Structure 1
Amino acid sequence: MCKRSRGFRSCSMGLAPSFMVALGLTAWSAPASAYRPFDGTDAAVAKKGEMEVELQPAGRLRDESGTSLIAPAWVLNYGLSEDWEAVFEGQGQTSLSPSGPTSLTAAGAFLKHVVVPGSLQDKTGPSIATEFGVLLPDSTGNSGVGVSLAGIVSQRWDWGTIHLNAETAITRDHHGDVFVGAIVEGPMTWTVRPVAEIFYENEFGKEETFSGLVGLIYRVRDDLSFDIAVRHALTGGHPVNEIRAGLTFGFPLSFFEGHAMRQAQPIPPR
């Protein structure tokens, strides 16, 4: 899959440290709207000055090449203004069968802009956003730099929410690529809501992918959610099976700025 992926494609941080960092940061969480466990995304951005984190401590991916451990996978969303955010992402991938080294894959840097505020911004009508950026090379292999441009339309009703994604890209292997997908969620008022995603992707001259995902999102509180999902796909006619589990949280960066300023203040003499 060539697109910047909230799904799958040498990390020094392992499973246990990354999970502990995530749990620690949730103590200062603010409401998060980043979107796990999907490959697509929503037409919303992080609040100005806030960081939203999507973290998967570990996941399992099995395709025609064997079984891989995805640990960790992350997406960082920083609110630049009311309707712009910066997005940074990547993941560690280790081949388990056959065994192989850990590499950094699916890395990228993007800008996301809400073009038309709508139901996701507590207004009427659909929310419309665009996202564009650079696909960075993997840490191993011969992949290069790619680019992508996406459009997102989201609409929320009392019964649930739908997000439509369309993306075109030049992949890291310099193939043309198109991606279209849809995410459907249960009511936002439910503590545990069912979710599903389908998408089609065509990397021209290489392979097509048909993918389906089903899962659950458990909202512990407005600023912390956990998710679990299973995904089955056909890529180039070969089956791909995946298990995803992770969490989403956010925090204002002003917390760290205030903490640093307090640490830098001189201690008054007694």
Structure 2
Amino acid sequence: MIFLAIATCSGSAFAYRPFDGTDAAVAEPGELEVELQPAGVQQEQGTRTLIAPWTVLNFGLSEEWEAVFEGRGETPLVPSGPTELMMGGAFLKHVVVPGSLQGKDGPSVATEFGVLLPDSTGDSGVGASWAGIVSQRWDWGTIHFNAETALTRDHHADVFVGTIIEGPSKWKVRPVAEFFYEKEFGLEETVSGLVGLIWQVSDKLSFDVAFRHALTNRHPVNEVRAGLTFAVPLRFEGAHNR
């Protein structure tokens, strides 16, 4: 199911559970970081949709680069319908300026860019996106600022501006929030707010839960998200000794 989800992704070209935006950090070299939502529910104008699986695969290429494949399946529940693999994409993320997220002083600055692939249904085409991310960590918490511009699969211009706020990174369970504005010119406008919790079990494992409320073209959208993030090595020391 994880690899089915490579064919899909959310409207934004980047993600960091349970947010729509991301942080200015990359996976460690030789490591696969998996962000997985086994099940989530979205309610919009009388339609209830199962969002699953929603998956982001981050492959650490070097200290400053990672390859990202992200996406999600959508299954209408009310009214019922078939599962769709939608909004696929593949991206590269680069830490331009190492900072507080890399154990250094000052803000971390990163960029992410890539291709938006056609949906599994409909007549959508290929799009592209570019994003800039700035993150700063303090003792009291962390802030991530995101700005993205894109050419959508239907060839509309799109802009996304968002801010993620997290509680202290040393807390095992920290509160989180996200606010963003997105406009797809000629089609829709979204204002969104999210609140949630992240349980940091270890450096390689965390669980998250969040509630999101948004207005898209002034229509309410409510969403419940719950998932996990874990990291596994792509190569093992024993393999090099054989």
- TM-score using structure 2 length: 0.93
* Aligned length, in residue pairs: 233
Residue 13 of structure 2: aligned partner: 4
AA at the equivalent of 1:43 = A
Q: 1:230 aligns with which of 211, 216, 222?
A: 211
Residue 121 of structure 1: aligned partner: 102
CA distance in 2, matches of 1:147, 1:50: 26
CA distance in 1, matches of 2:201, 2:60: 23
CA distance in 2, matches of 1:224, 1:118: 23
Residue 57 of structure 1: aligned partner: 38
RMSD: 1.6
AA at the equivalent of 2:213 = H
Residue 15 of structure 1: aligned partner: none
Residue 190 of structure 1: aligned partner: 171
Cα-to-partner distance string for 1:240-270 (whole Å, 9 max, x where unaligned): 1000000001011013983xx99xx8xxxxx
Q: CA deviation at 1:59?
A: 0.4
Q: 1:87 aligns with which of 55, 58, 68?
A: 68
State whether residues 4 and 107 of structure 1, in contact with CA within 8 Å, keep that contact through their aligned partners in structure 2. no
Q: CA deviation at 1:84?
A: 0.5
CA distance in 2, matches of 1:101, 1:255: 40
CA distance in 2, matches of 1:76, 1:92: 15
Gaps in structure 2 of 5+ consecutive residues: 1-9
Cα-to-partner distance string for 1:132-163 (whole Å, 9 max, x where unaligned): 00011111112111100000000000000000
* Identity rate, percent: 72
Gaps in structure 1 of 5+ consecutive residues: 7-34, 266-270
SS in structure 1 opposite 2:83?
strand
CA distance in 1, matches of 2:109, 2:57: 21
CA distance in 1, matches of 2:113, 2:228: 24
SS in structure 2 opposite 1:120?
helix
SS in structure 1 opposite 2:85?
strand
Higher helix share goes to which structure?
1
Residue 209 of structure 1: aligned partner: 190
Residue 231 of structure 2: aligned partner: 250
AA at the equivalent of 1:131 = E
Runs of 4+ in 1 over 6 A off after TM superposition: none
SS in structure 1 opposite 2:124?
coil
Residue 142 of structure 1: aligned partner: 123
State whether residues 13 and 113 of structure 2, in contact with CA within 8 Å, keep that contact through their aligned partners in structure 1. no
Cα-to-partner distance string for 1:70-104 (whole Å, 9 max, x where unaligned): 11110000011110000001111101111111011
Q: CA deviation at 1:64?
A: 2.5
Q: Greater CA deviation, 59-68 or 70-79? A: 59-68
Q: Greater CA deviation, 58-67 or 159-168? A: 58-67
Residue 55 of structure 2: aligned partner: 74
Cα-to-partner distance string for 1:205-253 (whole Å, 9 max, x where unaligned): 1111000000000011221100000000000111110000000010110
Q: 1:66 to 1:119 in 2, by over 3 A?
A: same
CA distance in 2, matches of 1:5, 1:103: 20
Residue 108 of structure 1: aligned partner: 89
Q: 1:119 to 1:65 in 2, by over 3 A?
A: same
SS in structure 2 opposite 1:101?
coil
Residue 164 of structure 1: aligned partner: 145
State whether residues 12 and 21 of structure 2, in contact with CA within 8 Å, keep that contact through their aligned partners in structure 1. no
User: Radius of gyration: which is bigger?
Assistant: 1
Cα-to-partner distance string for 1:114-148 (whole Å, 9 max, x where unaligned): 00000000000000000000011111112111100
CA distance in 2, matches of 1:97, 1:162: 37
